[in-house]
Amino acid sequence: MKDIKNKIYAMVKNDLDAIEAALKYNLNPHIDLVAKIAGHILFAGGKRLRPLLMILSAKLCGYKGKDHIVLSTVFEYLHAATLLHDDLIDEASTRRGKTAAHLIWGNSETILTGDFLLARSIRIATETNNISLMKNIAEVTEKMSLGEICQLMNAGNTDISEKQYMDIISGKTAILFQCACRTGAIIANVPEKVQKALSVYGFSLGIAFQMADDLLDYTSETKTIGKNVGADLKEGKITLPVIYALKHACAKDRATMEKIITNNVFSQDDFKILIELIKKYNGFSYTRQCAESYAADAKNALLFINNSETKNILIDIADYALSREA
């Protein structure tokens, strides 16, 4: 479904160009090494979905000011900060098709550059002089760190529940999407009802997006997603397809799955067996249904808002979240 992606990105080309320029201009690292490490993760072909969502939300809400482009960088910097720390934590080898930063520059440098990006994003947020916005961003930053810790604590836990999975993906993905969309509404000064609608849109989209991402980890190819297929499982991340299959498998199949999951040097053949078992117990189709349901929630949240070109793009993005290949 490259069509949707191309269609969306053609419609937002000017915004994307503005985001790229702002990401470069506002990084402002003073130190060459920080520019290199932050640049490595920031300028490796990310989709810029978070800043784009903020900008589109602001437009949908009739925002006419000039602060939205700079402010949108907050959401990409925050995202990049978590990627730097996460890849180190997960001992990931690639990200966005490139060698992970910590393998090039070292762990210490990567930790500190992550800290810088986190601090930089907060600092940009303070420059708006908007307290409600700063509070939202600070809250999300805190919750994101807790979400990551929650994920880490559940690494390799084959008894993880769907509820725990939802908490983790809320923290690691959905609340930042939510915050980006809500921020767009906040700066446009729209009534609470509209802020809430964009909040629901962002959160639901984030959940759908992450579920689709978790599916891709089993169904895509390494060169397409820019990281290793099966990487989640090797990092001990047990996602919805597996959780659902484990829950519904007979004792024998569950034992086979658990053996593969808990062996972090599982072979390609093991991985194929696991995939067949996930299919047998509808782990993929259930996850896809859930993702579709959240994408529908996202679209429904915007129902009462007047139709516009921007609204159509936001709806297209919800469809894209499901159909994407990378």
> Could you tell me the CA-to-CA distances from 271 to 225, 245, 251, 293 in Å, in that order?
18, 14, 19, 28
Stretch that binds its own copies, among 25-33, 55-63, 267-275, 296-304 (CB under 8 A): 25-33
- CA 303, CA 305: separation in Å to the nearest integer? 6
Should residue 161 be labelled a site residue for its own copies when binding is judged by CB under 8 A? no
Candidates 18, 111, 290, 296; binder of its own copies (CB under 8 A) is 111
Should residue 166 be labelled a site residue for its own copies when binding is judged by CB under 8 A? no
Should residue 122 be labelled a site residue for its own copies when binding is judged by CB under 8 A? yes
Smallest gap from residue 228 Cβ to its own copies (A): 19
Smallest gap from residue 42 Cβ to its own copies (A): 16
Stretch that binds its own copies, among 19-27, 60-68, 139-147, 187-195 (CB under 8 A): 139-147
Smallest gap from residue 138 Cβ to its own copies (A): 4
User: Which is nearer to its own copies, 114 or 241 (by Cβ)?
Assistant: 114
Stretch that binds its own copies, among 92-100, 146-154, 264-272, 279-287 (CB under 8 A): 146-154
Which letter, b or e, does each residue of 70-97 get, where b requires 16 or more Cβ atoms within 10 Å of its Cβ?
Answer: bbbbbbbbbbbbbbbbbbbbbebebbbe
User: Which is nearer to its own copies, 97 or 236 (by Cβ)?
Assistant: 236
User: Which is nearer to its own copies, 149 or 255 (by Cβ)?
Assistant: 149
Should residue 144 be labelled a site residue for its own copies when binding is judged by CB under 8 A? yes
Q: How many residues bind its own copies (CB under 8 A)?
A: 41
Smallest gap from residue 93 Cβ to its own copies (A): 16
Candidates 115, 159, 162, 221; binder of its own copies (CB under 8 A) is 115
Smallest gap from residue 147 Cβ to its own copies (A): 10
Should residue 131 be labelled a site residue for its own copies when binding is judged by CB under 8 A? yes
- Residue numbers at the binding site for its own copies (CB under 8 A): 29-31, 33-34, 85, 88-89, 107-109, 111-116, 118-120, 122-123, 125-127, 129, 131, 134-135, 138-139, 141-142, 144-146, 148-150, 152-153
